[in-house]
């Protein structure tokens, strides 16, 4: 399904949505929001994956010394026009100097909501968007309000799981409980799994755009002639539709429990300029608990597999890899402050051809972040992140398999 086809489908839904009307609001100040983030980063350890290394963060370290870097880390503008009572839209333009291209389209989709009905509340969106996997990215332009680095799960969704499709959600109250069921069909996202296989998990704030190219680290001699040195996450190669489904339960306490299954239905062998259609699927379970008015607990686990390529010597696929990650975090707000602590673990399990292309990985990370609200439109953030991992494929780039890195960063985040 192309973006154009998804948008046309949404328009058909809107035309049948009912007679409720509201005055359009296209260009008032309420329809625009955005942010600019200035960051100062100090890091030891290895070269970042954004610079073509195996590093697990967005910052390149100075080895045993510290590398210090001030920069404009990101800027974005989000436009949310209201076209009618039923129909709206979200369009995000994002600037990320460390990503190629630096200026790109983030998300772009129509939203639709039906008039109230006794059976269920229906809503839909169509276009280019992230599936509802991450519970951290609640800020404008799909950003993380309380941290500078997302979890490994949230970071991977930001890199490699953006779709062009149609999503429909039905929400129904049953007594004091609320159930929501979501189903989606989509195109694009055929190369999902490339970064996760050849680089592994990472923790950062970078997000893919409509035309992003991410660099890959040094590949094995076996894969060097088969895979391009970059990956383009928003690509359609095999003309097959993927899908995902989600269930969410909200009991009469401040808790949401959700489960989502995603499958891009890639055919494994379609290829264009050494970009391959990977078959990538995963299931994730998540819990968000507002323990009190000032404390939010989040926990999530994700497990899946990704496969790509032909059979080598008539036996195993080039890539056949399982992967998993889990984290738990707590955010405590007090006055203009918010403190977040997150602990997580991650792994990849290469199930084939490890003797010539080993993509195994194990690791863990600890993050602590503090946000101080200077004003309604300015936040000061500090974050410390330590990540430790063991990845044999680092040897392809002449780096020791076991690496530790500590990143300390601060940011001034201005919003409107």
**Can you give the pLDDT at residue 366?**
98
**Can you give the pLDDT at residue 11?**
47
Specify the range with the lowest mean pLDDT, choosing from 11-15, 175-179, 290-294. Answer: 11-15
Average pLDDT of span 176-196: 98
Cα distances from 334 to residues 9, 124, 205, 382, in angstroms, run 45, 36, 25, 16
The answer on pLDDT for 17 being more than 70 is: no
Please give the helix or strand (H or E) that residue 286 lies within, else none.
strand 279-292
Q: Which fold has domain 3-415?
A: Porin (2.40.160)
pLDDT (tens digit per residue) in 251-283: 999 999 999 999 999 999 999 999 999 999 999
The answer on pLDDT for 99 being more than 70 is: yes
The answer on pLDDT for 14 being more than 70 is: no
Q: Mapping DSSP to helix (H, G, I), strand (E, B) and coil, where does residue 179 land?
A: strand
**Can you give the pLDDT at residue 319?**
97
**Can you give the pLDDT at residue 231?**
98
pTM for the full model? Answer: 0.94
pLDDT (tens digit per residue) in 375-395: 999 999 999 999 999 999 999
**Can you give the pLDDT at residue 118?**
86
> Do 106 and 141 contact (CB within 8 A), yes or no?
yes
Cα distances from 299 to residues 134, 148, 286, 322, in angstroms, run 11, 18, 6, 21
pLDDT (tens digit per residue) in 58-83: 999 999 999 999 999 999 999 999 99
Instruction: At 207, list the tokens.
Output: 């997000």
**Can you give the pLDDT at residue 116?**
85
Average pLDDT along the chain? 95
Shortest CA distance to 181 belongs to which of 96, 258, 281?
258
What's the pLDDT band for 9 if we cut at 50, 70, 90?
Answer: low
Instruction: At 303, list the tokens.
Output: 């497990």
C-alpha 259/C-alpha 297 separation (Å) is 17
> Do 140 and 35 contact (CB within 8 A), yes or no?
yes
**Can you give the pLDDT at residue 10?**
47
Please give the helix or strand (H or E) that residue 43 lies within, else none.
strand 32-45
pLDDT (tens digit per residue) in 294-337: 999 999 999 999 999 999 998 899 999 999 999 999 999 999 99
The neighbour count for residue 316, using CB atoms within 10 Å, is 14
The answer on pLDDT for 3 being more than 70 is: no
Q: For the chain, what are the domain ranges? A: 3-415
pLDDT (tens digit per residue) in 344-376: 999 999 999 999 999 999 999 999 999 999 999
**Can you give the pLDDT at residue 22?**
67
**Can you give the pLDDT at residue 140?**
97
Q: Quote the percentage of the chain above a pLDDT of 90.
A: 92
What's the pLDDT band for 21 if we cut at 50, 70, 90?
Answer: low
pLDDT (tens digit per residue) in 140-165: 999 999 999 999 999 999 999 999 99
**Can you give the pLDDT at residue 19?**
39
């Amino acid at each position: 399904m192309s973006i154009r086809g998804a948008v046309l489908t949404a328009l058909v839904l809107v035309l049948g949505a009912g007679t409720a009307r509201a005055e359009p609001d296209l260009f008032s100040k309420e329809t625009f929001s955005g942010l600019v983030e200035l960051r100062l980063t100090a890091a030891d350890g290895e070269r970042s994956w954004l610079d073509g290394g195996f590093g697990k963060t967005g910052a390149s370290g100075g080895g045993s010394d510290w590398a210090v870097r001030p920069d404009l880390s990101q800027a974005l503008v989000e436009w949310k026009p209201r076209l009618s009572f039923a129909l709206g839209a979200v369009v995000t333009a994002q600037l990320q100097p460390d990503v190629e291209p630096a200026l790109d389209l983030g998300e772009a989709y129509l939203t639709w909501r039906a008039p109230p009905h006794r059976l269920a509340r229906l809503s839909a969106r169509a276009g280019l968007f992230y599936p509802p996997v991450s519970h951290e990215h609640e800020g404008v332009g799909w950003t993380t309000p309380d941290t500078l680095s997302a979890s490994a799960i949230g970071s991977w969704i930001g890199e490699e799981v953006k779709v062009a499709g149609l999503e429909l959600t039905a929400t129904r109250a049953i007594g004091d409980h609320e159930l929501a069921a979501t189903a989606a069909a989509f195109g694009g996202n055929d190369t999902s799994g490339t970064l996760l296989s050849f680089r592994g998990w990472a923790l950062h704030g970078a997000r893919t755009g409509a035309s992003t190219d991410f660099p890959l680290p040094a590949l094995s001699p076996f894969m060097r002639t088969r895979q391009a040195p970059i990956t383009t996450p928003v690509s359609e190669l095999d003309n097959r539709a993927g899908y995902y489904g989600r269930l969410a339960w909200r009991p009469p306490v401040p808790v949401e429990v959700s489960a989502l299954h995603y499958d891009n239905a890639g055919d494994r062998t379609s290829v264009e300029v050494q970009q391959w259609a990977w078959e990538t699927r995963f299931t994730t379970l998540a819990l968000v608990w507002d323990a009190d008015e000032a404390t939010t607990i989040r926990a999530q686990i994700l497990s899946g597999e990704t496969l790509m390529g032909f059979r080598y010597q008539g036996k195993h696929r080039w890539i056949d890899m399982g992967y998993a990650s889990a984290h738990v975090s707590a955010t405590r707000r007090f006055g203009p402050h918010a403190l977040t602590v997150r602990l997580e673990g991650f792994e990849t399990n290469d199930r084939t051809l490890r003797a010539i292309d080993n993509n195994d990985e194990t690791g863990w990370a600890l993050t602590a972040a503090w946000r101080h609200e200077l004003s309604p439109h300015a936040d000061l953030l500090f974050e410390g992140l330590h990540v430790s991992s063991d990845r044999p494929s680092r040897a392809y780039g002449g780096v020791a398999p076991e690496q530790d890195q500590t990143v300390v960063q601060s940011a001034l985040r201005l919003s409107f």
